[in-house]
Structure 1
Amino acid sequence: MGYARSRSAVAPLRRGLAAAGPRPAGPRPSVLQATALHRPEEPMLCVRPGVLAETARSFVAAFGAAVGGDVLYAVKCNPDTTVLRALWAGGVRHFDVASPGEIRLIRQMFPDAVLHYMHPVKGRQAIRAAYEQYGVRDFVLDSMEELEKIRQETGDAADLGLVVRLALPKGNAVYDLSGKFGAPAAEAVALLRAARAVAPKLGVSFHVGSQMLDPAAYERAIALAGAVIAEAGVAIDVLDVGGGFPVSYPGVTPPPLGDFMAAIARGIATLDLPAHCRIWCEPGRALVAPGVSLVVRITKRRGDELYITDGVYGSLSDAGVPGFRFPARLLRPFEPMSEAPVAAFAFYGPTCDSADRMNGPFLLPSDAREGDWIELGQLGAYGSCLRTAFNGFEQARVVEVADPPLLETPGYDLAASAA
């Protein structure tokens, strides 16, 4: 069967949320307490609202201090309602929405939110509904065909914000996003001129790729955008520097967030932008990765391979072919914690597909055994939202916890282990 992914993510997520039920009154438990309480045989997603709110608050403050701009949360990264409420509590008021479903969700939850339709290729009905029913005014595009679609479906509205997505050369991000969207420079020049003639608000956007570890990539992209704007000979009202802001994983320690903010500020300072021009960014992973962990149970051990209750068709997609490692700790809520030396393990997920394998290595006590639970951290980004119903393993419990982020395996030198 291989790694083909037939996703049915929304229904399983709803089932998981329903299974979790309302949060009980009183203080939130720890992950260990929640594991002892529920003894989960299915995956258990542990959401940290306090961590999410503080992460959002810090990012919004840092971007504001650097360039005075607006932070647009990329909803596709994690649309869980608890996550979204926590980000709102942390000061996020703008949302990068990329589908009718995301638009409906955010408008229902936050009537006063500002929505930006950032998908460069949209269906006609989606454009019409976004504009007429949900008050969306900002639309991204990367072709003349899309410009005409937006004009036609909004009735040549006089209050549009049109943002031209600029293609970038292939970069060195963990996930390169240069292939699918974006207008080449010459086409972007023509698009800017055409859009300027019909829209009171005009912008340029780009995306350097997901999990970008090089702050200078933003400076290079801003310079390219500046050259395109100068060639077009138009004034812009928005410069959107996209997302891609990285987070730490075992063996991967990105530069501090301040380095990225400083690079963006330096790049913008070289451009002759109008004083009123707003700067946007579209973080996803950087806002939510630390705010969720995953608890799984070991169902079998075979040497240095552990069979667990979630996998690449569930919340651990990034641990499959992309090869992401996640910080891990063993949970034994009913007995003393293991003092065994660390060992490196690979995981198999619960499905019958042999491609449901995660090479890791994941560092755990060497006496890990069937019946133990494992907590995996840094799974707030592209975890629960990528769950599928494949092979019937779609159930997931969702709980709120009070723990700090699980950023590294306790007691182990992850950087050294990756060397």
Structure 2
Amino acid sequence: MYSSAADAIFTEECNDAVHLFYPQKLTEKARLFLDNFPGNCLYAMKSNPHPVVLDHLWDCGIRKFEVASLREIEYITDNFPDAQIYFMHPIKSRQAIRFAYDRGVRNFAFDCLEELIKIEEESGYAEDLNLFLRLGVDQGAAAHPLSGKFGAKLSEAPLLLQRAATHAQKVGVTFHVGSQCMDPQSYRHAIWQVADMLAKASIKIDALDVGGGFPVAYPGMEAGCLLSYFKVIEDALSENGFDDIEIYCEPGRALVAESGSVAVRVEMRKGTSLYLNDGTYGSLFDAGTPAWQYPLDMIDVDDQRLSPVGDEAFRLYGPTCDSLDVMQGPFLLPDDIEEGDWILFHHLGAYGYSMQTRFNGFYSDTAVAILNQ
């Protein structure tokens, strides 16, 4: 544990990027969701599966995990045997379905008849399943829409729900309004869409999962208070008669983003181009190919202290041999930045650690905790 990012970076003397973890911030966000969301909170494991983060979330009271793969299921069942797992990836391999069921997973999502048949067959037509139909809903307020890949049409939903109910113990609906949803009314609109479909088909469900998409404040993006999102969702549920069913959400970015930063070192400066020890093949994928900017700080190699954010526009290059490893930016940094200085990319507690590859041998396993942040 360190008292500051600068202390951690220069004490560790790491040749790679450094992952910085702020446990107090993670505790605050976990408590915000657990105490205020009008239902159950499933942590979207993909956003940050680092063991320290998962242990901390467990200590905070997170007991339900949304997963997408066999390996995520294996990790959770091995390390948190009392956890409840929700396999919400709409398309899964048969082997993964079979493995999940054998490991005690009973909650599965699907978005088409073919996937539902796979789940039925690989679970041996089990009658203790909780099946969630993933629906496509409007995502106009999302900074990063997610509607192009998954989601059944509302017109297809009644028959799929009726088919799922023939074997399932419980049947539910799930949707995703898109990443970085900037308007809480998107959740209200999606809930009304679901309710309208169910009413027209005279179908009742046992559970509703409103997915993720809760926003984080990035530069130039004024995210509303999460409590206002929870209130809109709670009101919409009540307006549509969903008071007595199980309600879920799947925060990932909103839960862990602010609890982590990634520190990268400048290896070379060529004019307004900076060459770094990490890049888009590493921890900076989400910051290097953004639909939004990330907050930055610089730590000067000479005085080893934070410097004010500058106004010089830079392009950033990662350390790999691939010319695609470039971040156009512009990234605004002090005009006197030089070799040996460090740049802090904040809010990479989400998709920093989880997105890095080992291409060219550039990656980082160095993670440190920063207190009182």
- The TM-score by the shorter chain falls in which range? over 0.9
Structure 1 counterpart of 2:266, from 298, 307, 332: 298
Contact 1:71–1:282 (8 Å) recurs in 2? yes
Tell me which residue corresponds to 2:6: 32
**More off after superposition, 393-402 vs 189-198:** 393-402
Unaligned runs of 5+ in 2: none
Structure 1 counterpart of 2:280, from 274, 290, 312: 312
Q: Which amino acid aligns with 1:384?
A: Y
Structure 1 counterpart of 2:18, from 44, 55, 61: 44
Q: Which amino acid aligns with 2:71?
A: G
Structure 2 counterpart of 1:62, from 36, 58, 73: 36
Q: Which amino acid aligns with 1:314?
A: G
Q: Measure how far apart 1:222 and its partner are.
A: 0.6
Question: What is the CA–CA distance in structure 1 between the aligned matches of 2:310 and 2:147, rounded to whole Å?
Answer: 43
Q: Secondary structure at the match of 1:211?
A: strand
Question: What is the CA–CA distance in structure 1 between the aligned matches of 2:200 and 2:310, rounded to whole Å?
Answer: 61
Query: 2:170 aligned with 1:205, yes or no?
Result: no
Question: What is the CA–CA distance in structure 2 between the aligned matches of 1:320 and 1:400, rounded to whole Å?
Answer: 24
Tell me which residue corresponds to 2:367: 398
Contact 2:275–2:316 (8 Å) recurs in 1? yes
Q: Secondary structure at the match of 1:298?
A: strand
Question: What is the CA–CA distance in structure 1 between the aligned matches of 2:258 and 2:339, rounded to whole Å?
Answer: 27
Tell me which residue corresponds to 1:258: 227
Question: What is the CA–CA distance in structure 2 between the aligned matches of 1:346 and 1:59, rounded to whole Å?
Answer: 37
Q: Measure how far apart 1:231 and its partner are.
A: 2.7
**More off after superposition, 83-92 vs 235-244:** 83-92
**More off after superposition, 168-177 vs 82-91:** 168-177
Question: What is the CA–CA distance in structure 2 between the aligned matches of 1:159 and 1:131, rounded to whole Å?
Answer: 10
Tell me which residue corresponds to 2:130: 161
Tell me which residue corresponds to 1:127: 97
Contact 2:18–2:364 (8 Å) recurs in 1? no
Question: What is the CA–CA distance in structure 2 between the aligned matches of 1:308 and 1:280, rounded to whole Å?
Answer: 40
C-alpha deviations, 1:60-99, integer Å up to 9, x for none?
1120xxx2x0000001111111111111122211110111
Would you identify which runs of 4 or more consecutive aligned residues in structure 1 move more than 3 Å? 336-342
Number of residues of Structure 1 aligned to a counterpart in Structure 2: 372
Question: What is the CA–CA distance in structure 1 between the aligned matches of 2:288 and 2:36, rounded to whole Å?
Answer: 33
Q: Secondary structure at the match of 1:178?
A: coil
Q: Which amino acid aligns with 2:286?
A: D
Q: Measure how far apart 1:341 and its partner are.
A: 5.7
C-alpha deviations, 1:74-126, integer Å up to 9, x for none?
01111111111111122211110111101111111211111011011111221
Q: Which amino acid aligns with 1:278?
A: E
Q: Secondary structure at the match of 2:101?
A: helix
Q: Following superposition of structure 1 onto structure 2, how do residues 231-246 of structure 1 map, counting pairs within 5 Å?
A: 231-246=200-215
Query: 2:44 aligned with 1:74, yes or no?
Result: yes
Question: What is the CA–CA distance in structure 2 between the aligned matches of 1:52 and 1:206, rounded to whole Å?
Answer: 25
Q: Which amino acid aligns with 2:333?
A: L
**More off after superposition, 238-247 vs 37-46:** 37-46
Q: Which amino acid aligns with 1:77?
A: S
Query: 2:66 aligned with 1:96, yes or no?
Result: yes
Structure 2 counterpart of 1:355, from 321, 324, 334: 324
Q: Secondary structure at the match of 1:300?
A: strand
Question: What is the CA–CA distance in structure 2 between the aligned matches of 1:368 and 1:403, rounded to whole Å?
Answer: 27
Q: Secondary structure at the match of 1:299?
A: strand
Q: Secondary structure at the match of 2:155?
A: helix
Q: Which amino acid aligns with 2:325?
A: D
Q: Following superposition of structure 1 onto structure 2, how do residues 377-392 of structure 1 map, counting pairs within 5 Å?
A: 377-392=346-361
Question: What is the CA–CA distance in structure 2 between the aligned matches of 1:403 and 1:376, rounded to whole Å?
Answer: 18
Normalised by the length of structure 2, the TM-score is 0.94
Q: Secondary structure at the match of 1:92?
A: coil
Q: Measure how far apart 1:263 and its partner are.
A: 1.6
Structure 1 counterpart of 2:300, from 326, 332, 354: 332
C-alpha deviations, 1:270-321, integer Å up to 9, x for none?
212362x111000100011011111111111122222111111111112333
Change (3 A) 1:158 1:164: same
Question: What is the CA–CA distance in structure 2 between the aligned matches of 1:89 and 1:377, rounded to whole Å?
Answer: 24
Change (3 A) 1:283 1:211: same
The structure with more strand, counted as a fraction of residues:
2
Q: Secondary structure at the match of 1:83?
A: helix
Question: What is the CA–CA distance in structure 2 between the aligned matches of 1:227 and 1:323, rounded to whole Å?
Answer: 32
Q: Measure how far apart 1:192 and its partner are.
A: 1.0
Q: Following superposition of structure 1 onto structure 2, how do residues 266-281 of structure 1 map, counting pairs within 5 Å?
A: 266-273=235-242, 275=244, 277-281=245-249
Question: What is the CA–CA distance in structure 2 between the aligned matches of 1:310 and 1:161, rounded to whole Å?
Answer: 42
Question: What is the CA–CA distance in structure 2 between the aligned matches of 1:189 and 1:121, rounded to whole Å?
Answer: 19
C-alpha deviations, 1:348-388, integer Å up to 9, x for none?
11122232222333332221111111221100111111111
Contact 1:327–1:362 (8 Å) recurs in 2? no
Q: Following superposition of structure 1 onto structure 2, how do residues 184-203 of structure 1 map, counting pairs within 5 Å?
A: 184-203=153-172
Q: Measure how far apart 1:28 and its partner are.
A: 3.7
Query: 2:146 aligned with 1:172, yes or no?
Result: no
Q: Secondary structure at the match of 2:328?
A: strand
Q: Which amino acid aligns with 2:208?
A: L
Cα RMSD for the two superposed structures: 1.8
Q: Secondary structure at the match of 2:19?
A: strand
Normalised by the length of structure 1, the TM-score is 0.84
Contact 1:297–1:373 (8 Å) recurs in 2? yes
Q: Secondary structure at the match of 2:275?
A: strand
Contact 1:192–1:232 (8 Å) recurs in 2? no
